[in-house]
Structure 1
Amino acid sequence: MSQQNRLAFLDALRGLAAVYVVLFHVMAMPVPALATGSVLGAVLAMGGTGVALFFIISAFSLAYTMPRHARAPRPLLSFYLHRVFRIAPLFFVLLAFSIWRDGRGSHPGHPVTEILANVTFTFNLFDGWETGIVWASWAIGVEMLFYAVFPLLFRIIDTPLRAWAAAGLATLASGLAMSGLLGAGGLDAVTAYGLLRHLPVFLYGIAAYHLFNALITVPAATAHRYCLAALVAGSVLLVALVVGSAQAVVGPGAGWVLFGAAYAAVLMGLSRFPVRLLVNRVTTWLGQVSYSLYLGHPIVVALLMPVFRRIYAAVPQPDLAWLACAALTLAIALPLAQLGYRVIEVPGIRAGHRVLAALNARRAQPAQGANRSE
């Protein structure tokens, strides 16, 4: 998304999603997990659903920027090049580090075929490799599969009615697969890394985009009422899901889809009601560095685990001890995320723009020569 066309509420939600995942991993990555009080623990236990919010935002953002790609000389090339140069540079840097890390000491390292699967972003398609070599990169594998089919989906799902119908059908298919009614193949498709588990969530993002566009044409007061209702409903559903998950009333599969629906509702609400507590300079900045924060923070957490144990030994109250660990993690991870964004992500994005411009210029040259010869 170009800088001048960025939507502040999307950046803010992206940043909050990344921080939620970080806070979850501060608690969950150490073995055994860090102790917390029951209320804080219930909230943190759902931090992994921050990735569902990432997927919602990703689908919305892709749909929001797709008309710009459609105006380019070669729309599909524009779309895919922007995606590759947005994702690949940072991923490849961390992939190189991870291969070096995992090939040292007693660790056997990774076979060439697994490395190639990661380089080509196809690792989600291979049993046992779905998590990716880079820590937390399983979400990148799922995203890349969605990117591959997105232009076709966007062409087919071109109205609000079709968007909600597609989201409903995907939700139904996912539910049937989780129930076992679609057989072993269906169960495989809704594992933690299966695309059918996440497809409804992506489609909620596309549906939210179409609703966002549709609300532009209705009276402002009406749009505000709808968005306020969505914000309240989504917030209430999030609280209910946290409580239900803590009490094992909501299962992980159905809960993932329901969290996706709740996040989509909150996104729609914030599009007209950007609550200052959630949408502000800090959270929008977090959104800018969220990709580097997401991929880089597991390394920081892993290195800090011995320090976490010392903090817990010194601070008897579990919630306060966890807060100290979280604050320390963010104090280190956020500057590194800013560095990754400035040094790797931004140059990568600019390189993508240059490559696309060069390819378009090369294509235009023969056409210009043909015109001169006529």
Structure 2
Amino acid sequence: MAQPNRLAFLDALRGLAAVYVVLFHVMAMPAPALATGPVMGAVLAMGGTGVALFFVISAFSLAYTMPRHARTPRPLLSFYLHRVFRIAPLFFVLLAFSIWRDGRGSHAGHSLPEILANVSFTFNLFPGWEAGIVWASWAIGVEMLFYAVFPLLFRVIDRPLRAWWVAVAGTLASLLAGAGVFGAGGLAAVGDYGLLRHLPVFLYGILAYHLFAALPTLQAGTARRCCAAALFGGALLLVALTVGSARAWVVPGLGWILFGAGYAALLVGMSHFPLKWVVNRVTAYLGQVSYSLYLAHPIVVALLIPVFRRIQAQVPHADLAYLACAVLTLAVAIPLAHLGYRLIEVPGIRAGHRLLAAINGRRTAAGAERAR
């Protein structure tokens, strides 16, 4: 369901982020992991940072669309209804499937409190449940916490300079918590699924939005030079982090934050330099179905692992064997993602629009009645 104010480079980066996560899980989910050569292995090992790119894009998108919500009769209701109806329908379908899957055979299944925590999107707040029942849904748990505080953040971060300072403050808070300055609670907050670990990445997305919004105030040549520098600097940082991580030179917590910064710079640069091999109809389409692709692909990978082993046995070259497994996974997962988008996501989005229109319509009618 295309919207007239969609940004093509944003959709493209979202699609590439989803594919990067898929490629990572094709390698990492089997036990033992699929063998690859050193160069491909180093690149694939960073595929989990595709989620950091998701977070940057999410924060940017929320800031970009927030003025539209502000023009409605009930801005906060508009914001939260759009978020819930964008995320919940597909998540609930996969949650039902996951509860059924995990309740079979020798698996103990899930308790009612855990199920309710997932239904209410609060599972990130409960130790031991942060990963979520739906595979890979830990990111949804983190996102929902960010959604809860975003309207306040957007109100506070209202200009580029303030966005810089808040991003710096969030980064320092995350690093200090990781160093143990804030005690056990701080360390828990920067765990794998802790919001404070990911907050700087979200803040870089908000900063990227403010820099993007400020570009029209610059002279055309200056704006292009700034975006070129952001694109080159972001790409260089990402390459350096990938090499440094492969050689264990990068501290994991700091590396995640720096990857977020690199992706944010890449996003700003791509707004003026949408390279055709990055921003095109294929990647824009992948961006549209990226949510379904992200949530459904672990199931596809798990089912295909026996096939992966047969491919490995038949193809002696590790990189070629991996590529065959990756192509097979995408060939199955993308059509399924298309169905999830068309049959679940789009109807859910439309249902949210209808509900909001009905609420606003009743409010308008009641106001007109009182005015008589």
Same fold (TM over 0.5): yes
CA displacement at 1:2 relative to structure 2: 6.7
- Match status 1:43 vs 2:43: yes
Aligned to 1:335: 335
Q: Matches of residues 1-374 of structure 1 in structure 2 within 5 Å?
A: 3-372=3-372
Give a deviation string over 1:145-176, Cα, whole Å, max 9, x none.
Answer: 00000000000110101101000000001111
Counterpart secondary structure, 2:217: coil
CA distance in 1, matches of 2:180, 2:33: 32
CA displacement at 1:181 relative to structure 2: 1.8
Moved over 3 A (4+): none
Counterpart secondary structure, 1:255: helix
Give a deviation string over 1:187-216, Cα, whole Å, max 9, x none.
Answer: 111000000000000000000000001111
Equivalences, count: 372
Counterpart secondary structure, 1:131: coil
CA displacement at 1:305 relative to structure 2: 0.3
CA distance in 2, matches of 1:284, 1:313: 35
Counterpart secondary structure, 1:222: helix
CA distance in 1, matches of 2:119, 2:23: 29
CA displacement at 1:42 relative to structure 2: 0.3
Matching residue's letter, 2:173: A
CA displacement at 1:367 relative to structure 2: 1.1
Counterpart secondary structure, 2:73: coil
Give a deviation string over 1:29-58, Cα, whole Å, max 9, x none.
Answer: 000000000000000000000000000000
CA distance in 1, matches of 2:287, 2:306: 29
CA distance in 2, matches of 1:244, 1:41: 13
Counterpart secondary structure, 1:302: helix
CA displacement at 1:362 relative to structure 2: 1.4
> TM-score when scaled to structure 1?
0.99
CA distance in 1, matches of 2:63, 2:290: 20
CA distance in 1, matches of 2:104, 2:205: 41
CA distance in 2, matches of 1:99, 1:36: 34
Counterpart secondary structure, 2:92: helix
CA displacement at 1:371 relative to structure 2: 1.3
Alpha carbon RMSD of aligned pairs, Å? 0.8
CA displacement at 1:11 relative to structure 2: 0.1
> TM-score when scaled to structure 2?
0.99
Give a deviation string over 1:283-313, Cα, whole Å, max 9, x none.
Answer: 0000000000000000000000000000000
Structure 2 spans left out of the alignment, 5+ residues? none
